[in-house]
Amino acid sequence: MQLTIQQADLAFAVGRALGSVSSKSPLPLLSCILLEAEAGSLRITGTDLDVTTAVTVPCTVATPGRVAVSARHFNEVVRKMPRGPLVLSVTGGQCEVRYGDGKGWSKFPIQDAADFPRIPDLKADTRVSLGGDVLSRMVARTIFSASSEETRPMLNGVLVQGGDKQAVFVATDGHRLSKATRKGAFSGLAKDGVIVPTRAFQTVSRIAEEATSPVELQVAGARNQAAFTAQVGEYRVQVLTRLLEGPYPNYEQVIPRGNPREMRVRRSDLMEAVDIVASHADNVTRQVRFSLRPGRIGVSSATELGAGEHQLDAQYAGEAMEIGYNAGYLMEILRSIPTEEVVFRLNTSLAAGVIEPVGALPEAEEEMLCLIMPLRLPDAAG
Amino acid sequence: MEHPIRRLAPETATHIAAGEVIERPLSALKELLENALDAGARAIEVRVEGSLDRGFQIADDGVGIAASELELALERHATSKLRSLDDLDRLETLGFRGEALPSIAAVSRLRLTSRARGADAASYVAVEGGVTSGRGDAARAPGTTVEVSDLFFNVPARRKFLSSPAGEMRAAYRLLEALALAFPEVAWRMVVDGRDRLDWPAATSRRERASALWGARHAAQLLEARGERDGLAIEALLGLPEHGRASRGGQVFLVNRRWIQSPVLAQALRQGYGNLLPAGRFPAAILWLSVPPARLDVNVHPTKREVRFPTEESVFSLVAGVCARPLASLQPPFTVVRGGGTEPSWADRVRERPANQTDLGLESRSGPDATAGGGAATPAPAPPVAGEPEMWQLHRTYILAPVRGGLVIIDQHAAHERILYEEAFARLTGERASSQQLLFPAVVDLSRDQFELLLELGPWLKQLGWDLAPLGPPTVVIQGVPPGLRHESPGQLLQDVLDGVSERSGRTAHENVAEHLARSFACHAATRAGDALTLPEMRALADRLFATARPHGDPHGRVTFVRLDLDELHRRFGR
Ligand SMILES: Nc1ncnc2c1ncn2[C@@H]1O[C@H](COP(=O)(O)OP(=O)(O)O)[C@@H](O)[C@H]1O
Ligand SMILES: [Mg+2]
């Protein structure tokens, strides 16, 4: 194998592929990346068997071939090499990279590429495409609510549903839920959708941000696999992932429609209040107390660490009410909403509350909604 | 001679034997239920007043006892089931010693009423502490009723060692469950203080009975297994690996319709589950085994809860093999627990031999690696916040925390257990915890004894932050959980906690419920060895541990941390 490639191109490909290499894999080959050279391009693949990233970059190939090298080490060295053309070749059981027009070289031990896990070709039965910015926003608005609990694996990801009217992203861990929608025809994707693992979406959303083309999502339903493919300038990046097996819980059923009490508040004011007060909260339960009164709310907490209370103006006309929340959940939700004001739609102090932006989102075709389950306060009835 | 040998008076002998056969109220219930089953009953009704030791009665529709034999039945070694020793090899009945009735009669007030099939009237005998106190005519349909009250009224020493009445009732539910599984064709009913607690109509199959016991939804998830070899036959209903429990409480072993305990069967069953279950979890399963009577020794223990198999190896391999089959075809999400073991890296093959670094004689200034430059693919670990200590996790089991003058090594599980124990105990005796409400309430099918325990512990569980709504027994809906739990499915945790309490409070009465519950909760809710912890989690754990009243040991008395002094290290390195 021998080829000539620009340092920037190689560094990009190696860096992205490394994103899917597990840092503590028991199999040495999984801490490697696979380099495959063929007619005018080099493809670099990293995988941890669940998520695979493959990046194809242009180059001049003299002799095609395949080789596996240690991901982290190769990345570290290539990254530091000077810009300009590099000559990469495999000789005598080593992978050699020459740089700076003969100024220097590095050699890397190689692994037998034949042992590298075979990444199956995706036999897609459906495909849909989404703008890179849209995808990364929808992921950012939902992914934080996904669960990391191993006992309910279907919640360790984001549900992605299509249809001819809208695309819907949903994540929940059973304590909170977030839902983002975008209007438009996404009929390539089924209405009941697929569950994309959190880890895959972390990788995908980074690529979606820098993508210069729409991101194409292909699903092979029968094999429970999906691929996200996008162009980043001249580079083609593909993230392959196993999908999580459902069934996903029926989330529509738990979104309350007619919550009677409405509280509107400036988002930044509320975040400030929760942030300060939560410093006194129990560092495990993160419990803060909301005291709703007409025209204002109080946020407070008291533990052996200390106590604090913060009053802020709010539009609230309902009766006085005390309700407990996990400050961590609340902050993540508030952070995900882009509007200046947010509205809480509440029922009882034990029932699910809806938190939504007030007014339209910056992108007119998009909507979002979050649910949060309260903490039952010790002094609450029941 | 000071202590000449004397033959015991018959009453004394009976009394001593009674102590072995009837060690607790539950044994009386068990023996009498077995008698009803031996009599061919198709319907059995148990009524309990207050608690088992206060009084209960069992009515059956079996063959009954002839009026002329009533008193004989109450005599020691009087049985209709065995004529000679050889009969033991053909034994089809649960009883064979003729000891139960006299033993119970010796330590209680007992009334035996029976009408033999074909007889046109019933009669009764009443006995108090082994002495006949009355007899006469009675009225009832064919069958037998045995009423037992004031158990151990004449053995005060025994009374002191009885379990709590509630613990005994839970054991009774377990017993009825097991016998109901052994005899699905029999209709069972249990009434406690006038309230119907169990009502299982005669079933036509084992699965149908299981579904009456635990609900159709749960029963539908049980896997079936059956097999036969060398005259041994086994049938099993196996719980899914994800329904594995923290104790063996979910296992019922029935050998020739006898409910027995058996380490061999337990191990064989566990083997069948292989690596589908992590260490420390036990499958829930029912095994029905049939063995030719001639090859099974049932006369091993006074309570008949143990048997001896012809050859343990063949039983073991049959059971393990048969159980493994349906489990092998399970699809994910039951992820296999992989063995660890990292291979040595390939580097050894190609690496240049490390040479000694020649030294310029200058003090080396080690700085952080320059990690600047585009394309850094993995985020560098967040630098420790200034002033806050760095900590490390070792083998996902220990936390290494530098302290002034040395290093503290914390066992993450033990430490968390200590923390949770103190918190739980404070909650149980003080202000109620808050409760994280659930968006999707979890519906959990408990076993009958778990359910009874749950009802008993209701107020305490609420103090801990559980928000529970019992549906029809044995199902409960979890609406809220103690906040800040990691990694646990609420239903699993609840079951583990209940099992932990019943294991601890099973045998001894009048112990502190709060204490048991706090211990069990701490033990099961705590972070385990193997859980990866983030830096903030490690810090929180260390802070909370040293804020407890007894940071040095977990509730079982194991140490939570060891300290390594810098002086000690210096000494070892010869500084
Ligand atoms: N419920 C019953 N129905 C009919 N016969 C019974 C019943 N209970 C006891 N007997 C008779 O009384 C005898 C003695 O009972 P028991 O003391 O339990 O000894 P065993 O069960 O070992 O024979 C039994 O053999 C049986 O003949
Ligand atoms: Mg008997």
Domains and CATH numbers, chain A: 2-115 (3.10.150.10), 126-251 (3.10.150.10), 255-372 (3.10.150.10)
* Whole-number Cα distances in Å, B341 to A30, A228, A284, B5: 15, 33, 33, 66
Q: Ligand 1, from B69, B79, B104, B148: best to mutate by most atoms within 8 Å of Cβ?
A: B79
How many CA within 13 A on the CB side of residue A178? 25
Contact residues of ligand 1, CB 6 A cut-off: B 31, 35-36, 38-39, 60, 62-65, 73, 78-81, 95-101, 144
Looking at the CA of residue B63, tell me the nearest atom of ligand 1.
4
Residues in chain A within 8 Å Cβ distance of B465: 376
The rounded distance, in Å, linking the Cα atoms of B242 and A107 is: 49
Who wins on pLDDT, A55 or B564?
A55
> Residue B333: which pLDDT band, with cuts at 50, 70 and 90?
very low
Q: Please calculate the CA angle A29-A30-A36 and round it to the nearest 5 degrees.
A: 70
Q: What average pLDDT does this structure show over A189-201?
A: 91
Domains and CATH numbers, chain B: 10-203 (3.30.565.10), 222-327 (3.30.230.10), 358-575 (3.30.1540.20)
Q: How far is the CA of B120 from the centre of ligand 1 (A)?
A: 20
When the pLDDT of each residue in chain A is averaged and rounded to a whole number, the result is: 92
| Predicted interface score ipTM higher than 0.95 | no
Nearest-ligand number for the alpha carbon of B115? 1
> Residue B386: which pLDDT band, with cuts at 50, 70 and 90?
very low
Give which of A51, A245, A373 to mutate to test B binding, by max B Cβ within 10 Å.
Answer: A373
Q: What average pLDDT does this structure show over A195-223?
A: 92
The rounded distance, in Å, linking the Cα atoms of A188 and A218 is: 9
Kindly state the DSSP code that residue B559 receives in the 8-state scheme. Answer: B
* Whole-number Cα distances in Å, B186 to A85, B27, B33, B63, B65: 85, 20, 12, 14, 20
Among partner residues B242, B439, B479, which is closest to A371 by beta-carbon distance?
Answer: B439
Looking at the CA of residue B31, tell me the nearest atom of ligand 1.
18
Q: How far is the CA of B28 from the centre of ligand 1 (A)?
A: 13
Residues in chain B within 8 Å Cβ distance of A154: 333
Among partner residues B346, B374, B436, which is closest to A11 by beta-carbon distance?
Answer: B374
Tens digits of residue pLDDT in B509-542: 445 778 888 888 998 888 888 888 888 889 889 8
* Whole-number Cα distances in Å, B303 to B152, B165, B254, B308: 17, 20, 15, 14
Residue B503 has pLDDT above 80, yes or no: no
Token pair of B478, please? 């979890």
What pLDDT sits at residue A165? 93
Interface of B with A (CB under 8 A): 242, 332-333, 338, 340-343, 345-347, 349-351, 373-378, 431-440, 465, 467, 479-480, 483-484, 486-489, 492, 540, 543-544
Contact criterion met (CB < 8 Å) for A109 and B373: no
Q: What average pLDDT does this structure show over A222-235?
A: 92
Q: What average pLDDT does this structure show over B182-194?
A: 95
Q: How far is the CA of B16 from the centre of ligand 1 (A)?
A: 20
> Residue A211: which pLDDT band, with cuts at 50, 70 and 90?
very high
Among partner residues B342, B349, B544, which is closest to A26 by beta-carbon distance?
Answer: B342
The rounded distance, in Å, linking the Cα atoms of A54 and A322 is: 52
Contact criterion met (CB < 8 Å) for B439 and A176: yes
Q: Report yes or no: B65 and B73 within 8 Å, Cβ to Cβ.
A: yes
Tens digits of residue pLDDT in A68-111: 999 999 999 999 999 999 999 998 889 999 998 889 999 999 98
Percentage above 90 pLDDT, chain A: 77
What pLDDT sits at residue B9? 72
Token pair of B191, please? 């009434």
Mind telling me how many Å the CA of A170 is from chain B's nearest CA? 14
Q: Ligand 1, from B33, B35, B37: best to mutate by most atoms within 8 Å of Cβ?
A: B35
Q: Please calculate the CA angle A146-A148-A154 and round it to the nearest 5 degrees.
A: 65
Residue B475 has pLDDT above 60, yes or no: yes
Q: How far is the CA of B30 from the centre of ligand 2 (A)?
A: 9
Among partner residues B346, B432, B440, which is closest to A378 by beta-carbon distance?
Answer: B432
Q: Which of A119, A136, A149 is nearest to A207 (CA)?
A: A136
What pLDDT sits at residue B346? 28
Tens digits of residue pLDDT in B284-293: 999 999 999 8
The rounded distance, in Å, linking the Cα atoms of A44 and B276 is: 35
Tens digits of residue pLDDT in B4-22: 777 767 777 677 666 677 8
Give which of A76, A111, A151 to mutate to test B binding, by max B Cβ within 10 Å.
Answer: A151
- Beta-strand runs (E) in B412-506: 435-445, 467-470, 475-481
Tens digits of residue pLDDT in B335-383: 333 333 332 222 222 233 334 444 443 333 333 333 333 333 333 333 3
Q: How far is the CA of B40 from the centre of ligand 1 (A)?
A: 11
The rounded distance, in Å, linking the Cα atoms of A297 and A308 is: 14
Contact criterion met (CB < 8 Å) for A326 and B489: no
Q: What average pLDDT does this structure show over B466-488?
A: 85
Token pair of B27, please? 């044994």
Residues in chain A within 8 Å Cβ distance of B376: 15, 79
Q: List CB-based neighbours of ion ligand 2 within 5 Å.
A: B 35, 95, 100
